[in-house]
Chains A and B, each alone.
Chain A
Amino acid sequence: DAKTTQPPSMDCAEGRAANLPCNHSTISGNEYVYWYRQIHSQGPQYIIHGLKNNETNEMASLIITEDRKSSTLILPHATLRDTAVYYCIVRVWGGADGLTFGKGTHLIIQP
């Protein structure tokens, strides 16, 4: 079973910030939070990852709560091309275990 819980779907208006929540209440101290997204008929695309500090890259920001039991992926200015299924995954850094994908959140950007 996936170690994370995400809402099945969300809507966001184009140009607004999309905030995608993820609960990972059983996360271990050495597990990172990773975010991937999958656009229809393509392979998953890596977005961002973090351990306990907030992280930002050219695609998104990741906010992790102090107790590390939940996180939020922020797409600052959503575009129609951001419509995809977003997966939140926890995994030990460098682990050989496969990624455990849950059902993810289907984010729909509305024009």
Chain B
Amino acid sequence: KAGVTQTPRYLIKTRGQQVTLSCSPISGHRSVSWYQQTPGQGLQFLFEYFSETQRNKGNFPGRFSGRQFSNSRSEMNVSTLELGDSALYLCASSDSGVSPLHFGNGTRLTVT
């Protein structure tokens, strides 16, 4: 089975712009969650989707949003980018949320 795929691998954006990141989960996995990793804050939970519905959300501003499609693929969007949004964004999938998470290798976003 192919693992979790995230695209693009690297991204450079300018402050004020918006960005969309994509995640394709492991085949058959219906739960997709997103995490932000920075050197200062470590790994932090953004949100989790299951069958196109957001089930839980971390403590991030409304500029961070996501969605999940009927094929379980997910996107996350960050609007009005700030310098502090520079981070590694990780997507993880699981089988209905009852199995351990499997992570992709992330999208490294740099905001200049």
Contacts and interface: CB of A to CB of B under 8 A. Distances in A.
B101 A46 contact: yes
B-side binding surface: helix, strand, loop or mixed?
A: strand
Interface residues of B, number: 27
Contacts of A102: 42
A58 interface: no
Given A98-B33, A98-B35, A103-B42, A34 B100 contact: yes
Interface stretch (A3-11, A69-77, A88-96): A88-96
Given A43-B105, A46-B101, A98 B4 contact: no
Given A43-B105, A46-B100, A99 B4 contact: no
Nearest to A43: B103
Contact of B43 (A44, A49, A93, A95): A44
A96 B56 contact: yes
B45 A100 contact: yes
Residue of A41, A93, A99 ringed by the most chain B CB atoms within 10 A:
A99
Given A94-B97, A98-B56, A99-B101, A43 B90 contact: yes
Interface string B28-47: 00010101000000111111
A43 B33 CA distance: 13
B97 A101 contact: no
Interface in B67-112: 90, 92, 96-98, 100-106
A57 to B, nearest CB: 11
A30 interface: no
B97 A45 contact: no
B45 A98 contact: yes
Interface of B: 4, 31, 33, 35, 42-48, 50, 55-56, 58, 90, 92, 96-98, 100-106
